[in-house]
Structure 1
């Protein structure tokens, strides 16, 4: 029975090639466009979801507008801010388990033997990074890989670029001056990490230990006036966002350098970083929640039009056959 249905359908397709092509192609194109839009939306919504502790990760936003006890417009905040805020937060708030800080993106010339490359996807990273972020270290100790000055952690691709199939752990890369602000010197490879997922809000080729940056720029880590680091932190079960925010004014009163300072802070959960943030000076790319809504509506509209078109053509064909 089913064979007969298939034969009849096939004969109709062959007999009415133009009609069949328009009908099937139109519906297929609509479904394909809708599927591609769905894949795009799914990818945008998946950013930073790979972090196992993602629901406990926040970052500090720095503001300089309005009264210190008031909240500035969120779009006036910077993600890039002062370094002393990190240790102060960890010391004053028991609900914070770990703080990880890192520099703005840096450039460095790295060489080994006859291989010389300029790496522009580099950050000076805190030793606590592997305690907070779910970055997989394939070789090396995550507790100490970024602890000592002039330590460097390479991604798999970067390690192969310099050392081929050799074991890069313990090898030395010579760092030279570049247009960026990375320190010149000999860097010991203390870790090899798996490539970051594409859906990360910031990416890098290598990580240099933050202690290297501290060694050459100690003043940045002593004064609240410098703007040179990103601060993320991991909270524990005691954390309550509303109560935490209520404590911020008193915290700033204790720590800010100048009584009339207009410096204020806010916090932002990791889940909001890629799509919902409007803060400035990001460490990487950001998306747009508005784009998600727009493309979703467009996808739904295309699918509805394709279905209506298919139904109209099918109805017209049925009426024609009924008259015959």
Structure 2
């Protein structure tokens, strides 16, 4: 019986190669997309789960409000780790990280420049499951100036030598001893590093008493990533419930003085990558993108399944006699249902085999697109194979279910008398299915237009400062910091260098924040304010626009000690309006032994500019001058468009003469800003590709369906031509029904697309507005695609010889 079924299935497929090919290609493409998206989603959900204790690890975050200004950060205060372990019996261990900037690492006579560096506690290996290749986890990070390297860096520095005990020099200032080598951190980790230094190094530099202080003010410097490990069978809810008592003991004095509303945030380790929305977080994923990709996979599979269903029901008249004959010779309805379901499953699993081969071929390209290292094999991803087999099984059954039940219901007497011959299946169902296909396609096209528009908007948004042809280099050499004014003068001797300035942060990315006191009618009030320490040339180089007052002036000595410039948002927040000039402003607050404050007056107000990323709204900001070498972390060099290679060579030579032990490493500001949009660029590319695939599969189905319908109406078209119908009349007759369905699909797609895209755009503080032209353009695109697909078959049918058609019929 089963053998007979398969012979019938193979015979039917071989007799209808064209329609079988359309179904096979559509199903294969749909399954390829589903496999790729499934691999991507699986990887996203696997982040940090390689840690054996991941279900007990939480990160401490901060949520506080000062004067109505709310901050939610992934970082916390230095004393929180040890005091949490001491205060809460549920906490078994803690570990802290503080990241470091790019550093020059020297071993013997070789210099290397490394990123992804952090200082951490010796308790690291008690919390996280990092595998040591060499070294003792109990001793690796206990002593000051200890360094743990990953395997890649160890081989890069030392080759086949034993790295343990080797001395590396950092930024020509400090010597670290290599105490352990760990395996490279897995790619599915939200926090990656190449080098770890012992946190006791920082304690030794600043003094153990200062570093380990638990004075109330020390709990308000949020610079460290702190993770806690709960004891087995302990609940984070209990820690959260008792936190107010902890706050009262350690933090209340400072918080009460400044009226701070404070809340603690506990983030489960495995939730950080996809669900974190905190500031100062490591690069994370986005759960909404997972939902989008999941929806796309469902869309594409649905379109492919609809193609099969449409073609099967349309061709039902061709197989009506087969069904009738089977019933006459005794076949039961259940047997016919099994036949058609088995045919659908055979086609689907054949498509699955082709899809797996295609995925293996294109996976390296897909990995480059999404910046991952995904694999598909039965050993490493058995769950994926089980999942896609289940999907293929479901798809095959759903795709073949309606044709199976529809065809098996034919009455043999009616079939053999020819009363079912010309109907070609349920016309209304086919129309509904075509509408569903193009509704999905219209949603995908409008989504692609919006994603592209939003990305273009962000890339071209006025940042409020000049970002073109500005070269930025970090300053690591203390000698260069001390001789900065002479260095700047030497650079300006080159006519291709327009301006040089320094700052303590990179514009457009981040700034530090601390409590300021500002003048009001009721005295001085507190506000947590962003700040940037700059030099006298910074404002002119960045072309910041002045609204009130004046810029900093070297000729006025007090400008480097007591003058402030604030942005428009600060002036508005403090309700200074047009009277900001001369208002008192204090940087920092006095509390206990902490006396590091700067009291002065506002000399200018500048127009708001995006000193942070576009993922945050512009907040109040203060700028002030410092001549202290330690405040010069970054140098900005504005160069001309012409002869840039020669200009950079000149800068490198001057740099080498001032800082011979630190190579000149730089980047262009506009390049760094554009790199922030990598996630959106990848999403845009995926949207374009998947939208094209949706349209391709839908168009293939429409092409096959229109071809079959034209074939079914051959006699009618022949008679119409004999009676005088023109080619244009025939083409219009055959295409109007499909075009009407596409218009209905677009009308249905509009509210769904508008709702979904608005949800996606909510993630962006600066976003485009969805206008009607998006949906009009979508309608035009789908109409053009539909017309192009259908008109070819229509034109072919219209040009056929009516005499031959009628004679044949």
Fold agreement, TM-score > 0.5 = yes
Structure 2 Cα separation of the partners of residues 152 and 189 of structure 1: 5
Corresponding position of 1:300: 298
Corresponding position of 1:89: 84
Kindly tell me: are residues 225 and 76 of structure 1, through their superposed partners in 2, closer, same or farther at Cα, counting changes over 3 Å? closer
Which of 78-87 and 264-273 deviates more? 264-273
Which has the larger Rg?
A: 2
Corresponding position of 1:180: none
Match of 1:116 among 111, 114, 132: 111
Corresponding position of 2:231: 236
Structure 1 Cα separation of the partners of residues 8 and 232 of structure 2: 66
Match of 2:203 among 196, 200, 214: 214
Alignment map for 1:1-324 (pairs within 5 Å): 16-65=16-65, 76-176=71-171, 184-218=173-207, 219=210, 221-222=212-213, 223-237=218-232, 239-256=234-251, 257-258=253-254, 259-261=256-258, 262=260, 263-282=262-281, 284-320=282-318, 322=320
Supply the RMSD in Å over aligned alpha carbons.
2.6
Which of 273-282 and 187-196 deviates more? 273-282
> Could you tell me how far 1:271 is from its partner in structure 2?
2.5
Structure 1 Cα separation of the partners of residues 158 and 15 of structure 2: 64
TM-score by length of 1: 0.87
Structure 2 Cα separation of the partners of residues 8 and 269 of structure 1: 56
- Between the two structures, name the one with larger relative contact order (CA 8 Å, sep ≥ 6): 1
> Could you tell me how far 1:41 is from its partner in structure 2?
1.2
Kindly tell me: are residues 8 and 60 of structure 1, through their superposed partners in 2, closer, same or farther at Cα, counting changes over 3 Å? same
Structure 1 Cα separation of the partners of residues 314 and 233 of structure 2: 66
Kindly tell me: are residues 63 and 15 of structure 1, through their superposed partners in 2, closer, same or farther at Cα, counting changes over 3 Å? same
Structure 2 Cα separation of the partners of residues 105 and 55 of structure 1: 28
Corresponding position of 2:413: none
> Could you tell me how far 1:169 is from its partner in structure 2?
1.7
Query: Which has the larger helix fraction?
Result: 2
> Could you tell me how far 1:6 is from its partner in structure 2?
6.8
Structure 2 unaligned regions, length at least 5: 321-420, 423-809
> Could you tell me how far 1:149 is from its partner in structure 2?
1.1
Q: Is the 8 A contact 2:37 2:297 kept in 1?
A: yes
Structure 1 Cα separation of the partners of residues 89 and 136 of structure 2: 27
Q: Is the 8 A contact 2:99 2:116 kept in 1?
A: no
Which of 46-55 and 112-121 deviates more? 112-121
Structure 1 unaligned regions, length at least 5: 178-183
Structure 2 Cα separation of the partners of residues 119 and 196 of structure 1: 16
> Could you tell me how far 1:237 is from its partner in structure 2?
3.5
> Could you tell me how far 1:124 is from its partner in structure 2?
0.5
Secondary structure class of the residue paired with 2:41:
helix
Structure 1 Cα separation of the partners of residues 287 and 280 of structure 2: 19
Structure 1 Cα separation of the partners of residues 12 and 238 of structure 2: 70
Q: Is the 8 A contact 2:133 2:180 kept in 1?
A: yes
Structure 2 Cα separation of the partners of residues 127 and 168 of structure 1: 19
Deviations 1:221-254 (CA, angstroms, capped at 9, x unpaired): 4322323211111111363333221211111111
Structure 2 Cα separation of the partners of residues 296 and 244 of structure 1: 36
Q: Is the 8 A contact 1:138 1:192 kept in 2?
A: yes
Kindly tell me: are residues 254 and 28 of structure 1, through their superposed partners in 2, closer, same or farther at Cα, counting changes over 3 Å? same
Structure 1 Cα separation of the partners of residues 103 and 202 of structure 2: 13
Structure 2 Cα separation of the partners of residues 63 and 217 of structure 1: 28
Q: Is the 8 A contact 1:46 1:199 kept in 2?
A: yes
> Could you tell me how far 1:76 is from its partner in structure 2?
3.3
Structure 2 Cα separation of the partners of residues 43 and 311 of structure 1: 33
Structure 1 Cα separation of the partners of residues 43 and 21 of structure 2: 32
Secondary structure class of the residue paired with 1:313:
helix
> Could you tell me how far 1:318 is from its partner in structure 2?
4.6
Q: Is the 8 A contact 1:99 1:233 kept in 2?
A: yes
Structure 2 Cα separation of the partners of residues 40 and 105 of structure 1: 30
Secondary structure class of the residue paired with 2:221:
coil
Structure 1 Cα separation of the partners of residues 307 and 170 of structure 2: 63
Structure 1 Cα separation of the partners of residues 112 and 145 of structure 2: 18
Q: Is the 8 A contact 1:220 1:228 kept in 2?
A: no
Secondary structure class of the residue paired with 1:91:
helix
Q: Is the 8 A contact 1:139 1:169 kept in 2?
A: yes
> Could you tell me how far 1:156 is from its partner in structure 2?
0.8
Structure 2 Cα separation of the partners of residues 92 and 240 of structure 1: 15
Structure 2 Cα separation of the partners of residues 243 and 301 of structure 1: 44
